[in-house]
Structure 1
Amino acid sequence: MSRKLRSSVAAAAGLLAAALAVTTPPAQADDLVTHHEFQANCSVTTHRPDDPIVSPGLPGASHMHTFLGNQSTNASSTNTSLSSGQTNCRTPDDKSAYWFPSVYNGDQLIVPDFPQVIYYKSGILKYQDVRSFPAGIRFVVGSPTATQDQFRTAPGAVEGWECGNSSHNWDFPSYCPPGSQLNIRYQAPSCWNGRDLDSADHKSHMAYPDRTTLVCPATHPVPVPMLEFKIAFPVSGDMSRVRLSSGRGYTWHYDFMNAWDAPTLQALVSHCVNGGLQCDPRGYDQYKPQRGAALGPDYRLPR
């Protein structure tokens, strides 16, 4: 090999090595955990003045709610009826019911117009210890009677209301840039008492972790997925007439009735939450493709 050819080969090898040094992540990158979550993407199904948790069997007894996911949800819904229903969630074996107070601009109902994001995360420091929800668990997050200060200081208030560059609003912003969307992010308690699927106030069987240690309290020792609703409403401009069906923005709350196929939920919790991944509804982390997916291409558990 001539000196010139050897020089060219060496130069090419040097360029390749430099490129690999820039583009190849360090060997330990796969072990770096920054997230422990997966998404449920579900669309609006209907709007009803119903609440099958707070006012079961009493159609019309509640303020207006906007429902996501299970298409059969109404005032008389039960765990059995939900399991027989159909869902529009991206993961077809998530037949859970999700709902929240409807948003109005004056008298106009504002409807989220694309699949909304419900995160299933770890609420505790030791994300490896999070367990799947027990079948049939249900709970209410937040309160339709909350004051602004109660909403602001609640453990579940993450971002509050936001639009454009405005965030951490504990009531609706007075103005949102035209074309922007009004967003709310709010976290649920993620510690279960290990005994009750519901309670008289639909809250007491659940608790938030300690805010400093991120450990579940002794009264509620079982860590379960922490739900975080991230809902976007297509309303902008002057927000002075925007309201919830339950009142001001700080009366935001939401409800959850678990109707997942248990093995499917367990697979997503194990792979994504316990596995320290940032997953889509299929249980796939695009930043760590080598870890694979929890579910098949049809978003179902391979059987």
Structure 2
Amino acid sequence: MRADHRRGRSRRNALVAVTALLAGGGGLVAVNYAANASDVTAAAPTTRSARTISCPDVKSKLPAVPRQAQAEVERNLELLDRQTAEAGRRLAETRGQGGPDFVQNAILGPLADKRKATIDRISIAIGRSAAEPTGLDGLAACNLGLAAPGTQPSGAGAGAGQQGNDGPTAADFVDITKVAPNVRAVRRTAGASTGAFTSRCGTNERGQHNSDNDIVAPGVSNGAHHVHDYVGNKKVDFNSTNESLSAQRTTCTNGDQSAYYWPVLRDTSRRGPDANALGGGAEGNRGAILVPSTVTITYQGSPTGKVVAMPRFLRIITGDAKAFTNGTKNANAHWSCTGFENKVQLTDKYPICPRGSKVVRSFAFQSCWDGSNTDSADHRSHVAFPDARGNCAEGFKAVPRLTMRLVYKTPAAPNFAVDGFQGQQHNAITDHNDFINVMSDRLMRQAVSCINSGRRCG
């Protein structure tokens, strides 16, 4: 279906078309269950246990989903995740309330009812185009259990500097000086477009932060469930529309109004200002937000030919925020240290950098476009990566390749982590980045001209 290049304010109320980035339908919500009345004795108030709501994973039990049903299925899988998160927050907020059956009657029971209705909608959506799946009813009920001994809960009230049972651990970090070189140079053909176009947009000095995602969850507050840094467009949130984005000012010195945003990196040894807020500590993302020392945004060419202009309002997500459980199919994380970037790039580990070196997160976005759509139901199908030789697949056109480089001065490992969804262990492989092209047509033409002519412009 052709995407409307001029989606208006109706996007505010649009249903959430959820990508695999947010799919799952299961999950573990750990909260500070200091507990409901029946679970704590007055004689031992200090032994209160962290409790978790654990729900069966629905996505992994589904058959192949017909293309016609994918958007509706993904939307309902995201709803299952939100229902579990909401139940976890209620568990934390009602601690000390009710009698012996309070948790079952007020939290787990209603959660099971909501999940059953949502799972039924998934089955019906699939059944319209294929055989309706059976045996999913048993996935509705969730359980309450104890968190692993010695861990802290992921919900509100946890102390600063603790990532709790979500990680990361010391095993998630590696001394970059001990990693064998793994970076290979890209080969270019005679017709390569070798220029570059840079937008200088600052480092989010204004502190524009929220846990929204206007691409994946338009019209939904806290649709990301983790906090984003923003540069470029000065007002991007769940209410954003093409019209509002194009009317906003920008932090970019060349007038680029595009929205560039990514999950924040945190110093987990310190308490952050959002320790009890949604998107922050209440959802397992704890610590002080680290501001990058530099953010470099560059558009590059194709190693095999010329590039064409991106359409205005093109939306691209690179990486997978749930790659820890989804697998590496859509993962696109790159971690390194200054002085090592052309030698070592890590994907599922955080780097331990030597003295004088800083942590680097880098992103290279999809640079093949289908020539028609500015978005797609899964937020991926309208764009793609070139093949190993740098060629776009048939029907796709090479567009300027957006690359971003974020440099940080971090605390000693393992005291930093990227924001993410609960259950993803704050693993380095879940790193991702989001982009909405709001360049004027004139500025985009200038970028394409610089790139195709081999010049470097800003």
Tell me the TM-score normalized by structure 1: 0.72
Q: What is the distance in 2 between the residues matched to 1:97 and 1:104? A: 21
Identity among equivalent pairs (%): 30
Match status 1:110 vs 2:290: yes
AA aligned opposite 2:266: Y
In the alignment, which residue of structure 2 is the partner of 1:276? 454
Q: What is the distance in 1 between the residues matched to 2:384 and 2:331? A: 10
Tell me if the contact between 2:245 and 2:438 (Cα under 8 Å) persists in the aligned partners.
yes
Match status 1:245 vs 2:419: yes
Kindly provide the CA deviation profile for residues 87-133 of structure 1, in whole angstroms up to 9, marking residues without a partner as x: 011212x101010111112111111144x11110113411xx20111
Higher strand share: 1
In the alignment, which residue of structure 2 is the partner of 1:301? none
Structure 2: give runs of 5+ residues left out of the alignment: 1-189, 269-286, 421-425
SS in 2 for 1:267: helix
In the alignment, which residue of structure 1 is the partner of 2:220? 58
Q: What is the distance in 1 between the residues matched to 2:315 and 2:326? A: 26
AA aligned opposite 2:441: A
Tell me if the contact between 1:164 and 1:177 (Cα under 8 Å) persists in the aligned partners.
no
Match status 1:227 vs 2:402: yes
2:437 to 258, 261, 273: 258
Structural mapping, 1:176-215, within 5 Å: 176-212=353-389, 214-215=390-391
Kindly provide the CA deviation profile for residues 34-72 of structure 1, in whole angstroms up to 9, marking residues without a partner as x: 932111121214111111001111122211111111111
Structure 1: give runs of 5+ residues left out of the alignment: 1-30, 282-303
Q: What is the distance in 1 between the residues matched to 2:399 and 2:453? A: 15
Tell me if the contact between 1:156 and 1:189 (Cα under 8 Å) persists in the aligned partners.
no
Q: What is the distance in 2 between the residues matched to 1:263 and 1:269? A: 10
How many correspondences in the alignment?
A: 239
**Alignment CA distance shift 1:275-1:252 (3 Å):** same
Shift of 1:261: 1.1
The structure whose RCO (Cα within 8 Å, separation 6+) is larger is 1
Q: What is the distance in 1 between the residues matched to 2:289 and 2:296? A: 20
Shift of 1:172: 4.3
Tell me if the contact between 1:124 and 1:209 (Cα under 8 Å) persists in the aligned partners.
no
In the alignment, which residue of structure 2 is the partner of 1:98? 260
Once superposed, what is the RMSD of the aligned Cα atoms? 2.5
Higher helix share: 2
Structural mapping, 1:48-197, within 5 Å: 48-62=210-224, 63-92=226-255, 94-106=256-268, 107-114=287-294, 116-126=295-305, 129-147=306-324, 160-166=334-340, 167-173=344-350, 175-197=352-374
Q: What is the distance in 2 between the residues matched to 1:265 and 1:40? A: 11
Q: What is the distance in 1 between the residues matched to 2:262 and 2:347? A: 17
In the alignment, which residue of structure 2 is the partner of 1:36? 195
Q: Which stretches of structure 1, 4 residues or longer, exceed 6 Å deviation after superposition?
A: 31-34
In the alignment, which residue of structure 2 is the partner of 1:288? none
Tell me if the contact between 2:192 and 2:303 (Cα under 8 Å) persists in the aligned partners.
no
SS in 1 for 2:350: coil
Kindly provide the CA deviation profile for residues 209-245 of structure 1, in whole angstroms up to 9, marking residues without a partner as x: 1112x2110142x111111111112214x22121111
**Alignment CA distance shift 1:217-1:124 (3 Å):** farther
Tell me if the contact between 2:194 and 2:302 (Cα under 8 Å) persists in the aligned partners.
no
**Alignment CA distance shift 1:74-1:37 (3 Å):** same
Shift of 1:149: 11
